[in-house]
Amino acid sequence: QKEVEQDPGPLSVPEGAIVSLNCTYSNSAFQYFMWYRQYSRKGPELLMYTYSSGNKEDGRFTAQVDKSSKYISLFIRDSQPSDSATYLCAMSAKGGGNKLTFGTGTQLKVEL
């Protein structure tokens, strides 16, 4: 069993929809949670970073962490065609530095 599980999709939604992307994990030592966005044939770029449980909002993006359920989410409001990409969750343990454990990524397509 992988430490981090993520539905690969693809997920197709109409423009303007609210998108929910999720990851589950098994390692209770994970304390730092990140979402990266990766456009086709490009490297990943950091989208959101959260520590421990709770919510964090940045513009149209909201990251949510529920450590009791070992479940993290990324919500995208008013989705745009430019949001079409693969979204990777990543996490690390306290003291683990930047040795991140990544999910396999969810491919999102926002259609006009």
Partner 1 sequence: NAGVTQTPKFQVLKTGQSMTLQCAQDMNHNSMYWYRQDPGMGLRLIYYSASEGTTDKGEVPNGYNVSRLNKREFSLRLESAAPSQTSVYFCASSEGLLTGELFFGEGSRLTVL
Contacts with partner 1 by CB under 8 A lie at 4, 6, 8, 32, 34, 41-46, 49, 88, 90, 92, 97-100, 102-105
Cα–Cα distances in Å, from 95 out to 29, 52, 110? 10, 14, 37
| Closer residue to partner 1 in complex, CB, 79/88 | 88
CB 77 within 8 A of CB 14: no
Give me the least distance between CB of 62 and partner 1, in Å please. Answer: 17
| Closer residue to partner 1 in complex, CB, 2/77 | 2
Residues 27 and 72: their CA atoms lie apart, in Å, by: 13
Give me the least distance between CB of 83 and partner 1, in Å please. Answer: 19
Give me the least distance between CB of 101 and partner 1, in Å please. Answer: 8
Closest to 31 (Cα-Cα) out of 51, 11, 3: 51
Sign of the Cα torsion 37, 38, 39, 45 reads: positive
| Closer residue to partner 1 in complex, CB, 72/103 | 103
